[in-house]
């Protein structure tokens, strides 16, 4: 009697490649076992799906994996985005994101805006307790564009289509420079969408007096924004 012999044939390596700027853009690629020692960047170039110019490849946590071998990344989703450049440490350290999620579980770092393991741009859903939005949430984007003692610039995403009951006294068109602490832009950073900035009053002075731990400061800042947006 001849028994069934297990096949020793190696499986193809499958990867899902997404754009870090628009995660709706994705493509699944299948690589032969002979490609296992290729770097991720070389595999993407060979498949003809590399973006123009310099770029990096990231895993789901935002770590750069550009030169990792594809054999170490089977069945993973990876992200292609602008090449990282050196930058300061202003923002949320990547290893502290879980701490922020304890109070704000919806917080999502934007993968292509993580520099030296520091989140420079992230989105968080803040509750709408007064029925001012269609989704019952203010989708808030935080842009860390100042120094360690400066609150991030807060934008409300899609406010022009999301608002339900007219205007909000604290949400203004970005780039209007209403105050000396207003560093907002008229477009959401990295997009062509109009920016809607949240005027946070004199909280900058309070922010500077808080414990320097970034999570303590951001927790307090987001709590302040929730209060303002729901007045």
Domain borders along the chain are: 13-82, 92-229
The structure's pTM equals: 0.61
Q: Is-contact 214 92, C-beta < 8 A?
A: yes
pLDDT at 51: 81
Q: Can you spell out the DSSP letters for 115-183? A: ETTEE-EEEEEEE-SSS-BSSSEEEEEEE--S-TTSPPEEEETTHHHHBSSS--TTEEETT---STT--
Token pair for residue 69? 């071998």
Tell me what percent of the residues of the chain surpass a pLDDT of 90.
45
pLDDT at 62: 62
pLDDT at 22: 55
pLDDT at 86: 41
Burial class, 149, CB count within 10 angstroms (exposed 0-12 / middle 13-18 / buried 19+):
middle
Instruction: Please calculate the CA angle 96-97-103 and round it to the nearest 5 degrees.
Output: 105
Q: 48 — alpha (psi -120 to 50), left (phi > 0) or beta?
A: left
Contacts of 4 (CB under 8 A, 6+ apart): none
Q: 175 — alpha (psi -120 to 50), left (phi > 0) or beta?
A: left
Helix, coil or strand: residue 16: strand
pLDDT at 206: 84
Handedness of CA 120, 124, 126, 140 (dihedral sign): positive
Query: Which residues, given as ranges, of the chain have pLDDT below 70?
Result: 1-9, 20-24, 60-62, 82-89
How many angstroms separate the CA atoms of 126 and 210, rounded? 22
Q: Is-contact 117 94, C-beta < 8 A?
A: yes
Q: Mind listing the pLDDT tens digit for each residue in 116-174?
A: 889 999 999 999 999 999 999 999 999 998 888 889 999 999 998 999 877 788 999 88
pLDDT at 23: 54
Q: Is-contact 14 36, C-beta < 8 A?
A: no
Q: Note every long-range contact of 1-9, with CB atoms under 8 Å and residues 24 or more positions apart, other chains counting.
A: none
CATH assignment of 13-82, among 3.60.150.10, 3.10.20.90, 3.40.640.10, 3.40.50.720: 3.10.20.90
Q: Is-contact 112 79, C-beta < 8 A?
A: yes
Token pair for residue 120? 């420079």
pLDDT at 83: 64
Q: 91 — alpha (psi -120 to 50), left (phi > 0) or beta?
A: left
pLDDT at 196: 93
């Amino acid at each position: 009697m001849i028994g069934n012999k297990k096949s020793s044939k190696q499986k193809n390596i499958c990867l899902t490649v997404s754009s870090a700027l628009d995660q709706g853009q994705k493509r699944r690629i299948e690589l032969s076992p002979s490609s296992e020692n290729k770097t991720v960047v070389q595999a993407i170039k060979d498949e003809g799906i590399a973006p123009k110019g310099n770029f990096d490849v990231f895993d789901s946590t935002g770590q750069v994996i550009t030169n990792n071998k594809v054999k170490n990344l089977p069945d993973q989703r990876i992200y292609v985005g602008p090449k990282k450049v050196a930058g300061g440490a202003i923002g949320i350290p990547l290893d502290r994101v879980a701490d922020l999620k304890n109070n704000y579980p919806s917080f999502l770092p934007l993968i292509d805006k993580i520099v030296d393991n520091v989140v420079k741009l992230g989105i968080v859903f803040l509750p709408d307790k007064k029925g001012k939005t269609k989704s019952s949430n203010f989708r808030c984007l935080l842009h860390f564009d100042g120094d360690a003692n400066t609150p991030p610039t807060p934008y409300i995403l899609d406010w022009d289509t999301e608002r339900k009951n007219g205007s909000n006294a604290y949400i203004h068109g970005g780039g209007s420079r209403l105050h000396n602490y207003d560093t907002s832009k008229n477009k959401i950073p990295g997009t062509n969408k109009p920016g809607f900035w949240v005027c946070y009053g004199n909280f900058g002075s309070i922010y500077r007096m808080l414990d320097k731990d970034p999570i303590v400061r951001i927790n307090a800042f987001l709590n302040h924004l929730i209060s303002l947006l729901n007045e």
